[in-house]
Structure 1
């Protein structure tokens, strides 16, 4: 724990709390503003679409302007637009809601990519798994508290209270950015996003993790709608359990990965996620929902740490920005795609069938997981040796 890493954790708290407070609240707000369940999926998809697009551009911005400016700009864009949702009646317009989600998504992209690359620099390589687990615990703690708290506050204190709180938290951490290190000169030309997509060592674990993120987007968006309205306490408990088990599993996976390697954890994480979605299908059963969320949370935490650690380990420091962007791209693209596809599927089949079908379809990611497992047992070329193409990483 160094002072720069401590300041980085402060910015993670602000960004994560601001993000998770509204992740389930905005879909509820969109639905109650007259948009229906389709509007709920649209709001999450808009947020994730802007995040994904921002993540594709963030490595270039970080290379040009440095970590601090990109991170500070992201915190402002993530927090300030939430205040616009308090303006009535304009705030109840679906176009207005989508616009706010787009700006916030772009801001979140800048915080996770610019900040994520900086985090990798601040953690010793031999402790990377546990270091990333620590960062995940700090970030995940916000989801444990903020995700269910946002839903609870919206029901008991009103949407305006949640919107103001989600704006204040990221903005309050902007001053901490001044204490973070400036951009360091790269020893070699930074990798581009095209290189990342073309490189199996990065693309395969990203594809597996993106599949698990499909479930995360579905749970955050549709679990509050799938559970009967008279069981609001069950939704809060299930979201809390899912986030808490993900934090614990991420920490254990990090410690295990530093000692035994993270490659062997990818498939177990994927299978637990798929099993959790299948178990959640009977949404009228409290036991099924809680067991399903515990399984999914455990698998998701394992998949988060294992895939992220693998991707950072397979690039030189000049590639941290791309590894961060690609991992977060998989995270947010998966969440957004899961929300929109599940919304279309559940409209025709109902929530129970849609949850079961999602769990079964997630097992298709065993194919890239198998190829990545084979890749991890091949000799890894030393970065910077040989040709300058993507295969060197």
Structure 2
């Protein structure tokens, strides 16, 4: 005879909440392709301009034009998301980032190249703001740091491949082949759009004023701290190929590979540990690593210093990416996720662009070692507010 207890169902072990869902996976594929489109040309366009007589000033302007265009566009992306939703907004970004690369097949004139950079910058802004906000929507709050770390891997892998590969492929398929490859990498992301949600948060609840309500929000410190780190990031990627003596493309490619590989790994690890101890507590150590890495580039004639500096900076930069963004999301309600995404990307692209333009102007009078030393000082100064925020 079977007892009542025997008829009860066996207890079911709790299952872990799935982090990478189908929609999240499709978003990661889109992010990978668009990131590859960006990074293939990040160091190549400055070399392309320098090879056609535009020099270091033209190289700095190309990076600056793209990033400052992204800054301007990022102010409008939250409103665009509220009006037409994630799917249409991200599709527009893919087209603006990919299609203009084909124009470079026809010209090397500085004004036209800068115009291409401006349009691509707007596409980049749409993609990064929309994608980062959607990641926060699609991941559970208690695993947000890890979710942002997974997103960081999807963003970082194109940098690992694209930064060194772009420089290497100049000798293999030429500039024209690279421009076509960059266009295809972004436009291929259009096939993922059916899986992207139209809207997640109600339009009425979305905070679309990027610069509104910042006083007392706790967002300004991580924004300015991250901007200081991205100044150095834009400088290293744009000017390291020009600073290394001779045509030592293999050393430059190796350094860019090291920096690009360490950044996403550090971004993921920082996300996992940040979920446990709080992201703000890890921010100052990340900045110390970034400052040491930037300072190592003072010894621009030493391959060991360049490679070690790239590893240190990549680690600190990657960790700072996750920690600043997670800190900002922790300090606002869900209705302000779009604002946080736009503000953080403003710091990213604004620091990257301003750093490239300023460095291009300074290096002509100081030389590379002193200019790199000034860059490291900017990063080191950001350690102070990070420590104060922890206390």
TM class, shorter-length: over 0.9
Q: Which has the larger radius of gyration?
A: 2
Q: Deviations over 1:235-293 (max 9, x none)?
A: 00000001111111111111101111111111111111111111111111000101111
Out of 105, 129, 136, which is 2:152 matched to? 136
Give 1:116 shift. 1.5
Give TM-score scaled by structure 1 length: 0.92
For the 8 Å contact 1:202–1:311, the answer to whether it is kept is yes
Q: Matches of 2:149 and 2:128 in 1, distance apart?
A: 15
Out of 267, 273, 292, which is 2:309 matched to? 292
**Which residue number corresponds to residue 104 of structure 2?**
85
Q: Matches of 1:188 and 1:268 in 2, distance apart?
A: 36
User: Where do residues 327-338 of structure 1 align in structure 2 (5 Å cutoff)?
Assistant: 327-338=344-355
**Which residue number corresponds to residue 112 of structure 2?**
96
For the 8 Å contact 1:62–1:114, the answer to whether it is kept is yes
Q: Compute the RMSD of aligned alpha carbons.
A: 1.3
Q: Matches of 1:292 and 1:95 in 2, distance apart?
A: 34
For the 8 Å contact 1:186–1:317, the answer to whether it is kept is no
Give 1:108 shift. 0.6
**Which residue number corresponds to residue 22 of structure 1?**
41
**Which residue number corresponds to residue 46 of structure 1?**
65
The answer to which structure has the higher helix fraction is 1
User: Where do residues 1-393 of structure 1 align in structure 2 (5 Å cutoff)?
Assistant: 1-87=20-106, 91-184=107-200, 185-186=202-203, 188-195=205-212, 197-374=214-391
For the 8 Å contact 2:291–2:380, the answer to whether it is kept is yes
The 1:199–1:164 alpha-carbon spacing in structure 2 relative to 1, beyond 3 Å, is farther
The 1:111–1:369 alpha-carbon spacing in structure 2 relative to 1, beyond 3 Å, is same
Q: Matches of 2:153 and 2:45 in 1, distance apart?
A: 24
Q: Matches of 2:385 and 2:223 in 1, distance apart?
A: 9
Q: Matches of 2:162 and 2:327 in 1, distance apart?
A: 29
Q: Deviations over 1:125-172 (max 9, x none)?
A: 111111110110111011000111011112332100110000001101
Give TM-score scaled by structure 2 length: 0.92
78-87 or 109-118, which deviates more: 109-118
Q: How many residues align?
A: 371
Q: Deviations over 1:153-212 (max 9, x none)?
A: 123321001100000011011121121112131573525212254455111101101100
